[in-house]
Amino acid sequence: MISRRSALAGLGAAGAVATLAPTRTVRAQPAPIRIGWAVSRTGPFAGGAATTVIPNYEMWAREVNEQGGIRVGNARRPIQVVEYDDRSNSEEAVRAVERLISQDRVDFILPPWGTGLNLAVGALLNRAGHLHLAVNSVTNRVDDLGRRWTNAFWFLGRSSSGAEALVAQLAAMRQAGQITPRVAMAAVSDQFGVELANAGRAAFRAAGFDLVMDRNYPLGTTDFAPIVNEAARANPDAFVAFSYPPDTIAITDQARVLGFNPKVFYTAVGTAFPLFRDRFGANAEGVMGIGGWHADSPALRDYMRRHMAFANREPDRWASSVTYSSLEVLAQAIERAGTIDRAAVIAEVAKGGFDTIAGRTEFAEDRVRRGTWWVGQWQGGEFHGIAPANLPGARAAAFPKPAWRG
């Protein structure tokens, strides 16, 4: 059973139009732009969706409506939202998107959270001619899918880019004599983890690293003591986990409890969440993870303030701001096109050149957004981007990671 919520934000009751005088005509309100999404309110992806996707979708819709809507031609049109819970399940996500297309007849559909769910609904969005802003998705299938899904734009990009940026960071540390080539790697066995592990395995070997542990674990694993103990026995200088948020928290906690403290400790999705810092306090210091952001950017500081006022919590330091920026791209593309015709809007997105909170948004020929942070680190209570080092606001990596506290 798919749950559904629908709200017409910023508008009064339907048909609530009054005539003030016999000689005056009340102008009809412009028709809303119907925007739908199916995201994980429940299930194992709910934590990621609740941090990265849902607050940004809801905040953006409110802010747009408070400004009178999106300008289409000579009129501003408010946003009407239709939402479903995909329950962290690909079949539910497909059914929900089918309903948004065929029954709700929304004008635009915003993407789900996670690589697997984006890939699950991608073919359907393409067949229907719907814009696909694939924000919370990291996959090496971009090259293949990009030739077929001309409606899709990849805001984070390829798994290989993430793995290669991490390996390049570790290679620089090894060249500086900070670490040996010994690396232990673990990965969640779903699309995200498998792709990053495959890319990481190849990149580590090409760079001359020694993978002293290479383990996959099932999605939903809760006991990570065996993996952490195995990693500790292998005595690596760097530990890498291509993990999802619940795993990231559990792996870090288990490493602390067991006293496994390599010089480099890297976990993936969830490391950039404020929950990670709040959960581990001083023990978050020096931990590396996927993502990062330019913490001193005025635009991002203002976004942080607005997010705190709206959601009463901080955004994550990676995909949250990218998610919000994708919505800015959508609004600007509609305004440029002067229509909500989806083909026209897709063509405008492809042109790039959007000013967003995450900076100037441009797409390469393969429709992958340029300028993605891949490695960040908690330093002084903030998750700073450290790689690629040529991005604005990049910090040098702090080394080594401090010992775990009690």
Mean pLDDT of 134-151: 91
SS3 label, residue 10 = coil
- Is the pLDDT at 134 greater than 90? The verdict is yes
The reported pLDDT for the residue numbered 24 is 53
- Rg of the chain, C-alpha, whole Å: 22
Write out pLDDT tens, residues 32-61.
999 999 999 999 999 999 999 999 999 999
pLDDT at 144: 87
The pLDDT tens digits of the residues spanning 269-296 come to: 999 999 999 999 999 999 999 999 999 9
What are the angstrom distances between the C-alpha of 303 and each of 255, 317, 320?
34, 11, 10
- What token pair was written down for 370? 């340029």
pLDDT at 1 over 80: no
The answer, yes or no, to whether residue 214 has pLDDT greater than 80, is yes
Pair of tokens at residue 297: 């950017």
pLDDT score, position 147: 86
Confidence category of residue 8, pLDDT binned at 50, 70, 90: very low
Q: What percent of the chain has pLDDT over 70?
A: 93
What is the structure's pLDDT at 146? 80
In whole angstroms, give the CA distance from residue 257 to residue 242: 20
Write down the residue that tokens 């901080």 correspond to: 314
Residue type at position 247: D
Quick one: average pLDDT of 16-22?
Answer: 35
What's the half-sphere exposure (Cβ side, CA atoms, 13 Å) at 61? 25
Q: What phi, psi does 403 have (nearest 5°)?
A: -65, 150
65-71 average pLDDT score:
97
Tokens of 44: 């194992």
Q: What's the residue count for the chain? A: 406
> What is the pLDDT at residue 20?
35
The encoded tokens of residue 106 equal: 């929304």
**pLDDT score, position 6:** 44
**The pLDDT of residue 239:** 98
What does the pLDDT average to over 109-124? 96
155-203: pLDDT as tens digits: 998 999 999 999 999 999 999 999 999 999 999 999 899 999 999 999 9
Q: What is the pLDDT of residue 7?
A: 39
For the segment 82-104, the average pLDDT, to the nearest whole number, is 98
The per-residue pLDDT for range 366-395, each reduced to its tens digit, is: 999 999 999 999 999 999 999 999 999 999
Burial class (CB in 10 A: 0-12, 13-18, 19+), 200: buried
Name all domains of the chain by residue range, CATH numbers in brackets: 4-158+319-361 (3.40.50.2300), 159-294+374-387 (3.40.50.2300)
In degrees, rounded to 5, the angle at the alpha carbon of residue 226 between the alpha carbons of residues 221 and 228 is: 95
